[in-house]
Chain A
Amino acid sequence: MNKREDEFTADLLQGTLDLLVLKALTAQPLHGLGVSTRINQITKGTFDVKPGSLFPALHRMEEAGWLKSEWGESENNRRAKYYSLTRAGRRQLETETEDWQRISLAIGSALRAT
């Protein structure tokens, strides 16, 4: 049952999750939990990304060359893996942002139409 819901959330986020992860990482490198906390913050609690969706996305984006990762120390001296944007990742964020704005404008106007 649990799994079902997870999948549902993941599906909903499929297009936007990448964008959110990229956005979350613009200011500074973050570890996994940091990314999910940051997304929660910047979406004002709308999106709560669970590890089951987060980690596959992080690894996929790392393989795509948008992110790079390295092991570091957390604020309370825990070993954690930190992700940061690559140049390709920044470019990707730009294009995805543009795409998203175009789409959201279009959808918005579509929904306003009578």
Chain B
Amino acid sequence: MRKDRVDRDLGEELTSYVQLLTEKKMKEGMNEEEARRAAMLEVGGVEQVKEEVRANRAGFSLDTLFQDLRYGFRSLRKKPGFTATAVIALALGIGANTAIFSVINAVLLRSLAYRDPGSIVMVWERSLRGGRAQNSVSPANFLDWKKQCSSFAEIAASWDTRLNLTSGGEPEEIQIQKVSADFFPVLGVQPELGRAFVRAEETPGTEPVVILGHDLWQRRFAGNRAIIGQTVTMSGRNCTVIGVMPAGFYFLNIQIKAWLPLQLDPTTEWRKSGRFLRSMARLKPGVTLQQAQAELDGIGKQLEIAYPDYNKGWGVNLVPMHEQIVGDIRPVLLVLLAAVAFVLLIACANVANLLLSRAASRRKELALRAALGADRMRLIRQMLTESMVLAMMGGVLGVLLAYWGIQLLVAFAPDNIPRLHEITIDPRVLAFTFGISLLTGLVFGLVPALQSSRPDLNDALKEGARGSSSGNRVVRNLFVVVEMALALVLLIGAGLMLRSFSQLHQVKTGFETENVLTMRVQLPNAKYGQPQQRADFFKRAEERLAALPGVKSVGAISYLPLTGLASSTSFNLATKPLPPSESPGTEVRPITPGYFTAMGIPLLKGRAFDERDGATSRVLIINETLARKFFPGQDPIGQQLIVSWEPQVADEIIGVVGDIKETALEQEPNPAIYWPHPREPYPFMNFVIRAAIDPTTLSAAAAREIHALDPDQPVADVRTLDQVVAKSIARPRFNALLLAIFAGVALVLASVGIYGVMNYSATQRTQEIGIRMALGAKPGDILRLVVGHGMKLTAAGIVIGVIASLALTRVMSNLLFGVTATDLPTFVGVSAVLTAVALLANYIPARRATRVNPVVALRYE
């Protein structure tokens, strides 16, 4: 408003100047008409003077900005097709970047929801012999560290397990974390209601207490604040609720619904048991990670000397909390970020090309503006503003795309991606989007602006709308080459991931997954304290399930394969025992007799378990790997092993079964020992139900059979074996899917880009083509001419792309399975696909060019 007034004022001032000057000249003896003309001549152009004055005013930048914005919007509105194409391309690029950045922001950048998270560390045992840097922790070693280490303000331990919750609704198996009293102080988080644990509650035999998670409290207890002090029944024990944690609080495992005190009896000989704890600590102020690590290295050495049987070859390994949570997801995210950056660059090249083509048709307009007094800077600013308007429109649409993209991403992402639920579009993400939108506008706008603001006004005005300088053409061709190269790199990256995933998918599991239902049953200790009770329960459950119509066979095992869980220990050949620290490791899997049949694992030698093999039996079954490694060329049947869980007895091998992929599809099987369940009667077992029909139809009936045995007994994790396997490779599948989507977008953008350029250059060459045809060129010749040009660019792009890929895909090698980062079939295949798409994108405009009527073309001026 003010600006308008100032402008009007200036107009009046200049008019008055002209009048005064005219009068002055009339006084000097001119007649009125002469005087007026002379005055006008002296002033020059009123508009030019105004322009100069404006340029000298402080508010100048803002004024012209608004003016340019208005102008930009107007000229964009005049070309809706161009605007839409450009905005969509940019929105795809910016949207993809925003989505991936929002993931990076939540997972990598945002600090953890603990107090001073930088000084929290995980304390792992490091197994030198097993090559495991992050091994679970022995309670004995944990207690010794706690006693001896001075680097920590607090050190705590936790152990994830499951309980049956029977208060506040249907019986439900929930995951809980048993934690020592220092757990909450280490993380620096307080309950939102009630109190945290006190040290006295670490003593076994104290009255049981529980802290509820916010979600569980809301869901099962309706958020009732009076819950504090009340008791809830967990696995048959009445626990007093002492606190409720704030919403969103979790530690490493988001499934945890409640916390109970971890009670490590100091009188227990923990060095006879396994390593099963997680340990975390808060560094004292001023103590660095290196200092703490050095101190613990020393303590670890002493423990090795003091307890060689248990600790030889074991050290201590500190891992910063943040690293622990995001360490293995970081490379994937960085690869994805690179991928979306490429998509955005391609979009930029595309829009830059569109702008260049458009600038050519706007030359007359620009030349006119220049002639009317706009200097070159002014024109560049004008064009850049227009680019910025485009970029911002792309940015706004991009944020919308990202918003939906993130919903999809979170919905489809495997749940083992850390901090997934924390992904949001927060101010930092918006700032990022705004920043890249600006940058994008600059990147794609600058070259066209510089190109088309060149002051060869005469030529431009003469040549009319048709002209296109050769420099312009070179730049456009260059953009096409760059686009092709970028798209190729992305396609190769995606191709490698897809091939890797398909390799993974084809890995033989060693068992048959079709038509198998699985479910977990965990018996509460309070009710099933006696080993015999547990053995009986699972025996009877197996019988009942097997009797269901449609069921072919039923078995149960402690941990299902490919769920990442296993019990491990060491063993010895009875004939040549080694000291404990040197004896080989094995997984131990308690199973019921029907397990191998239900899983379809072949029995290679000997027999499977049956009802003879009870609690006192001294028999076991080994897998092929153990047989091959320890009994090469011998018959293992009848040989004896000593499993260190029961070092005083030797067990006889009665069977050998086929190897299965236990830990992960990409990992070779470890030696494994199967025990009959009554021998080591775990309170939880996973049922495997092989059906003749669709197994999911059996889930209700299967749960009913369990309830028939114990109405309070929940079943959990009911899913098919196919789902179990699929879940184990959910992450590589997700990575491959995301990269494939980005590469697909890149391919579309790049082919639209090359199509646009070819189409434009064919139109530019209409006259030339007309002459050629008039001189006798056949449509085939023309086709070759136009397509040949495009394919030259494509070939250049592919060569550059292949070279770049060879350098870049190396960073992905850790994410690949079964293919190398320079996999020849992928490189060749992807190049072929890109060539084919480019050929098509070239062919359509070339085809159109051949239909040119020479007479019309020659007149085309």
- Interfacial residues, chain A to chain B (CB-CB below 8 A): 2-3, 6, 31-33, 37, 50-53, 55-57, 59-60, 63, 74, 76, 78-81
22 contacts between A and B (CB under 8 A): A3-B48, A33-B17, A33-B21, A51-B43, A51-B44, A51-B49, A52-B43, A55-B13, A55-B53, A56-B49, A56-B53, A56-B56, A59-B10, A59-B53, A59-B56, A63-B58, A76-B23, A78-B23, A80-B16, A80-B17, A81-B9, A81-B16
Query: What are the interface flags for B26-63 relative to A under an 8 Å C-beta threshold, 1 for contact and 0 otherwise?
Result: 00000000000000001110001100110111100000
B17 close to A56 (CB less than 8 A): no
Contact yes or no, A32 B17, CB < 8 A = yes
Judge whether B14 is part of the interface by a CB distance below 8 angstroms: yes
- Are B17 and A51 in contact, with the CB atoms below 8 A? yes
Minimal beta-carbon separation of B127 from chain A (angstroms):
76
Assembled-state Cα–Cα distance A90/B20 (Å): 27
**In the complex, which residues of chain B have a beta carbon less than 8 angstroms from the beta carbon of A56?**
49, 52-53, 55-56
Count of chain B residues with a beta carbon within 8 Å of a chain A beta carbon: 24
Kindly state the separation between the CA atoms of A78 and B18 in the bound complex, as whole angstroms.
11
Residues from chain A with Cβ under 8 Å of B56 in the complex: 56-57, 59-60
A-side interface mostly: helix
- Closest residue on chain A to residue B15 by CB atoms: A79
Q: Determine if A51 and B19 form an interchain contact, defined as CB atoms under 8 angstroms apart.
A: no
| Residues on the A chain within 8 Å of B707, using CB | none
* A78 to B17 CA separation, bound complex (whole angstroms): 10
B13 A60 Cβ-Cβ under 8 A? no
Cα distance, A51 to B44, chains bound together (Å): 8
Closest beta carbon of chain A to B5's beta carbon, Å: 13
Give chain B nearest CB distance to A109 CB in angstroms.
35
B131 → chain A closest CB, angstroms:
74
Does A50 lie within 8 Å of B42, measured CB to CB?
Answer: yes
* Residues of A with C-beta under 8 A to B48: 3, 52
Q: Does B12 belong to the interface (CB within 8 Å)?
A: yes
A50 CA to B39 CA, complexed, in Å: 11
Residues of B within 8 A of A32 (CB): 13, 16-17, 20
Contact of A33 with B12 in the complex, beta carbons under 8 Å: no
| Residue B540 at the chain A interface, CB threshold 8 Å | no
Contacts of A57 in B (CB 8 A): 56
How far, in Å, is A11 (CB) from chain B's closest CB?
13
Chain A nearest CB, measured from B545 CB (Å): 89
User: Does chain A have a CB within 8 A of B24?
Assistant: yes
Are A52 and B52 in contact, with the CB atoms below 8 A?
A: yes
Alpha-carbon distance between A60 and B16 when the two chains are bound, in angstroms: 19
CA distance A51 to B373 in the complex (A): 15
Produce 1/0 per residue, B366-392, CB < 8 A to A: 000000010000000000000000000
Q: Which residue of A has the minimal Cβ distance to B58?
A: A63
Assess A6 versus B44: contact at CB under 8 Å? Given A55-B53, A60-B57, A79-B12.
yes
**Chain B nearest CB: distance from A77 CB in Å?**
11
Cβ–Cβ contact A79 & B52, under 8 A: no
Contact of B20 among A2, A50, A78 (CB under 8 A): A78
Alpha-carbon separation in the docked complex, A32 to B57 (Å): 17
A51-B17, A53-B52 known, 4 other contacts, Cβ within 8 Å: A33-B24, A52-B49, A60-B56, A78-B20
Q: Which residues of B contact A78 (CB under 8 A)?
A: 16, 19-20, 23
Bound together, the chains give a CA A31 to CA B24 distance in angstroms of: 13
**Chain B min CB distance to A7 (Å):** 10
* Distance A73 CA – B24 CA, assembled complex (angstroms): 16
Residue of A nearest to B42 (CB): A50
A2 with B52, Cβ < 8 A, contacts A33-B21, A80-B16 known: no
Given A31-B20, A33-B20, A63-B57, does the pair A52, B13 have CB atoms closer than 8 Å? no
Alpha-carbon separation in the docked complex, A53 to B43 (Å): 10
Q: Of the candidates B10, B14, B44, which one forms a contact with A50 in the assembled complex, judged by CB atoms under 8 Å apart? A: B44
B44 near A2 with CB under 8 A, answer yes
Which residues of A are found within 8 Å of B10, using beta-carbon distances?
Answer: 55, 59
Complex CA distance for A41 and B12, rounded to whole angstroms: 26
Complex CA–CA separation, A107 to B509 (angstroms): 94
Cα distance A50–B53 when bound, in Å? 13
* Contacting residues, chain B, for A55 (C-beta < 8 A): 10, 13-14, 49, 52-53
| Bound complex: CA A51 to CA B40 (Å) | 11
CB-nearest residue of chain B relative to A48?
B42
A81 contacts B58, C-beta separation under 8 Å: no
3 smallest beta-carbon distances between A and B, as pairs: A56-B56, A33-B20, A60-B56
Query: Contacting A52 at CB < 8 Å: which of B16, B19, B44, B57?
Result: B44
Q: Does A81 contact B44, Cβ atoms closer than 8 Å?
A: no
Select from chain B the residue with minimum beta-carbon distance to A6. Answer: B44
Q: Which residue of A lies closest to B24 (CB)?
A: A33
When C-beta atoms are compared, the residue in chain A nearest to B52 turns out to be A56
Q: Please, how many angstroms separate the alpha-carbon atoms of A53 and B49 in the complex?
A: 8
Q: Render B50-81 as a binary contact track against A, CB cut-off 8 A, 1 for contact.
A: 00110111100000000000000000000000
How many angstroms between the C-alpha atoms of A47 and B48 in the bound complex?
Answer: 21
> Which residue of chain B is the closest to A2 with respect to CB atoms?
B44
Q: Is the CB of B20 within 8 A of A80?
A: yes
Interchain CB contact under 8 A, B13 and A81: yes
- State in angstroms the CA–CA spacing of A2 and B371 once bound together: 12
Question: CA–CA, A50 to B12, complex, Å?
Answer: 17
The residue among A37, A51, A56, A63 with the most chain B CB atoms within 10 A of its own CB is A51
Kindly list chain B residues whose C-beta atoms are within 8 Å of the C-beta of A2.
44
A60: chain B residues within 8 A (beta carbon): 56-57
* A14 → B minimal CB distance (Å): 12
Contact partners of B58 in chain A: CB under 8 A: 63
Give Cα A31 to B13, complex, Å: 9
A69: shortest Cβ distance to chain B, in Å?
A: 9
* In the bound complex, CA of A37 to CA of B24 (Å): 10
Bound state CA distance, A51 and B10, in angstroms?
A: 12
Closest to B48 in A: A52
Looking at the assembled complex, report how far the CB atom of B162 sits from the nearest CB atom of chain A, in whole angstroms: 75
B370 to chain A, nearest CB (A): 11
Residue in chain B with minimal CB distance to A64: B58
A51 lies within 8 A of B42 (CB)? yes
Nearest Cβ distance between residue A103 and chain B, in whole angstroms? 24
Distance between Cα atoms of A78 and B20 in the complex (Å): 8
Q: Contacts of A51 on B, CB cut-off 8 Å?
A: 14, 17, 42-44, 49
Q: Contacts of A52 on B, CB cut-off 8 Å?
A: 43-44, 48-49, 52
Distance to closest chain B CB from A40 (angstroms): 11
Q: A6 contacts which chain B residues (CB < 8 A)?
A: 44
- B272 to chain A: closest CB distance in Å? 88
Residue of B nearest to A56 (CB): B56
A81 CA / B10 CA spacing, docked (Å): 10
**Complex: A10 Cα to B53 Cα, angstroms:** 13
Complex CA–CA separation, A63 to B23 (angstroms): 30
- List, in ascending order, chain A residues with CB within 8 A of B49's CB: 51-52, 55-56
Binary contact track B398-413/A, C-beta < 8 Å → 1, others 0:
0000000000000000
- Encode contact with A along B457-472: 1 for CB under 8 Å, 0 otherwise: 0000000000000000
Measured CA separation A32–B48 after assembly (Å): 17
- The answer to whether A59 and B57 touch across the interface, beta carbons within 8 angstroms, is yes
Q: Which residues of A contact B43 (CB under 8 A)?
A: 50-52
Closest Cβ of chain B to A15, distance in Å, is 15
Q: Taking the nearest CB of chain A, how far is it from the CB of B21, in angstroms?
A: 6
- Residues from chain B with Cβ under 8 Å of A76 in the complex: 23
Q: How far is the CA of A17 from the CA of B19 in the complex (A)?
A: 24
List B contacts of A53 (CB < 8 A). 52
Which residues of chain A are within 8 angstroms of B9 by Cβ–Cβ distance? 81
A80: chain B residues within 8 A (beta carbon)? 13, 16-17, 20
B702 to chain A, nearest CB (A): 84
- Give Cα A33 to B42, complex, Å: 12
Question: Is the Cβ of A31 less than 8 Å from the Cβ of B16?
Answer: yes
**B52 partner residues in chain A, CB cutoff 8 A:** 52-53, 55-56
